Amino acid sequence: MIPAKADTRRQILDIAENLLLDLGYNGFSYKHISSALGIRNASIHYHFPQKSDLGVAIIQRARRRFWRWSHSEEMQKRNPLEKLDAFFILNKKFLHAGGQCCLGGVLETCFKTLPTDMQMETQAFISDMLGWLTELLRDGRERGAFAFPGDPQDQAIVIMSSLQGALQVVRATDPSLFEAAARQIRKTVKSEK
Amino acid sequence: MIPAKADTRRQILDIAENLLLDLGYNGFSYKHISSALGIRNASIHYHFPQKSDLGVAIIQRARRRFWRWSHSEEMQKRNPLEKLDAFFILNKKFLHAGGQCCLGGVLETCFKTLPTDMQMETQAFISDMLGWLTELLRDGRERGAFAFPGDPQDQAIVIMSSLQGALQVVRATDPSLFEAAARQIRKTVKSEK
DNA sequence: GTCTATACGCTGATAGAC
DNA sequence: GTCTATCAGCGTATAGAC
């Protein structure tokens, strides 16, 4: 049996990740976390001595999560278009979580204020995602599922940027516009056949 | 003749706007501005009593700037494709300014931490830009310059989001990738003829 | 592991002299 | 308009008791 308060570390990560996606890295503090969790400020420093330790841990966990997602048995069975759709759904989850931004976008906009270790982890995270998406587009185009001009990496950046940007734009307009934008992006790469 | 230090207000706005695009709204303080300008903290409060007054002023100035840009005599002469290209160049300027984000993206990612007056001004700014881009796409498609499926507004969101997102993504990758991404976006709406 | 207590610079902001 | 002086609160962070 697992005691309810067994893994405070995990709870801190969960709360901090949500705060990060909602408010940005410079928009939340240890106080937000401690009051949400019902513990004291100092207790969080026991698990994450510095705020950047917490930041790095959040990104590393997101990287592992993305790796498991993209390498899951379920995912391997899918064809390229289904994989792309799964990526769209992955992004749409941020919207349903009360209009959050995606991790990459949040970290990039405050990139210059981040300590070096967080900057490096951010770069690795983006590289992971961009690599996966590039490979998917390359493979999918070879197999006739996708049709787009130019370099798969350029197209990968456009898709990542679009979704990331759209999650942000709808915060200042209407959340319902995200879906329509996502469909529009999908059309630009899906082959007509 | 205009004394060198005549309009401190304007200099504050210039510096603060650059800090905002570099570091995010919660990433810069009055101290950054005062030390950059060689004056005291309190002097800035004379011009902008609250930080949100400064924030609102930055957005309002950007809105006026965009209005003048989009209504300029020079712009009226351009055809739809040339207007779209001008919009791309407008975004590329942030990249050349040392890898800045665009104003919309910065404000949206910390949207939930902003005071109400700044949130409203942000919404108006996005609405201005989205309205202009939507009208351009609608008109351009009617005249045969553009070819894309669906609602012009959906396409407008995709283009705005892509450029906004791309400016952010290249911060964690390579600035040179922006140009390629921009060309890729351009291809998705330019008619083939 | 979590607590209390504490440090201390930075933050936005004000009062009042010049 | 800009200055000096000052403020209360918050930020991250540490020491040491339980």
Contact between residue B172 and residue A104 where contact means Cβ atoms under 8 Å apart: yes
A87's CB contacts (< 8 A; 6+ apart) are: A133, A136, A159
Q: Is residue A1 part of a domain?
A: no
DSSP state of B145: S
Number of domains in chain A: 1
Protein CA A67 to sugar C1' D14 (Å)? 37
Bases of chain D with protein Cβ within 7 A: 1-6, 10-16
Bases of chain C with protein Cβ within 7 A: 1-6, 10-16
Q: Is residue B1 part of a domain?
A: no
Low-confidence ranges of chain A (pLDDT < 70): 1-6, 193
Q: Is residue A138 part of a domain?
A: yes
Q: Using the CA of A52, give the nucleotide whose C1' is nearest.
A: D12
Q: Does B157 touch chain A (CB under 8 A)?
A: yes
For B23-62, how does the pLDDT look when each residue is reduced to its tens digit (9 = 90+)? 999 999 999 999 999 999 999 999 999 999 999 999 999 9
Distance from C-alpha of B81 to C-alpha of A72, rounded to nearest angstrom: 44
Q: Is residue B2 part of a domain?
A: no
For B98-115, how does the pLDDT look when each residue is reduced to its tens digit (9 = 90+)? 999 999 999 999 999 999
Q: Assess whether A31 (CB) lies less than 7 A from strand C.
A: no
Distance from C-alpha of A124 to C-alpha of B25, rounded to nearest angstrom: 25
How confident is the model at residue A192, as a pLDDT?
Answer: 84
- What radius of gyration do chain B's Cα atoms show? 18
For A141-155, how does the pLDDT look when each residue is reduced to its tens digit (9 = 90+)? 999 999 999 999 999
Q: Is residue A66 part of a domain?
A: yes
Distance from C-alpha of B86 to C-alpha of A35, rounded to nearest angstrom: 49
- List the domain range (segments joined by +) for residue A173: 8-189
Q: Does B151 touch chain A (CB under 8 A)?
A: yes
**Tokens representing B148?**
């894309």
Three-class DSSP labels, A86-148: HHHHHHHHHHHCCCCCCHHHHHHHCHHHCCHHHHHHHHHHHHHHHHHHHHHHHHHHHCCCECC
Compare all CA atoms of chain A with the CA of B29 and give the residue at the minimum distance: A26
For B167-182, how does the pLDDT look when each residue is reduced to its tens digit (9 = 90+)? 999 999 999 999 999 9
Distance from C-alpha of A96 to C-alpha of A94, rounded to nearest angstrom: 5
Q: Which CATH number belongs to the domain containing residue B168 in this structure?
A: 1.10.357.10
What's the whole-number average pLDDT of chain B? 96
Please name the residue whose C-alpha is nearest to the C1' of nucleotide D6. Answer: B42
Chain B residues whose CB is inside 8 A of the A149 CB are 184, 187
Distance from C-alpha of A152 to C-alpha of A150, rounded to nearest angstrom: 7
Q: Is residue A14 part of a domain?
A: yes
Contact between residue A185 and residue B176 where contact means Cβ atoms under 8 Å apart: no
Q: Is residue A78 part of a domain?
A: yes
Q: Is residue A2 part of a domain?
A: no
- Minimal CA–CA distance to B101: which of A126, A165, A166? A165
Distance from C-alpha of B24 to C-alpha of B2, rounded to nearest angstrom: 32
Distance from C-alpha of B113 to C-alpha of A22, rounded to nearest angstrom: 9
A contact residues 37-76, partner B, Cβ 8 Å cutoff: none
Which segments of B24-145 does DSSP mark as H helices, in order? 30-37, 41-47, 51-71, 73-76, 80-96, 103-109, 116-142
Q: Assess whether B41 (CB) lies less than 7 A from strand C.
A: yes
Contact between residue A189 and residue A84 where contact means Cβ atoms under 8 Å apart: yes
- Minimal CA–CA distance to A70: which of A131, A113, A122? A131
| Banded pLDDT at B1 (limits 50, 70, 90) | very low
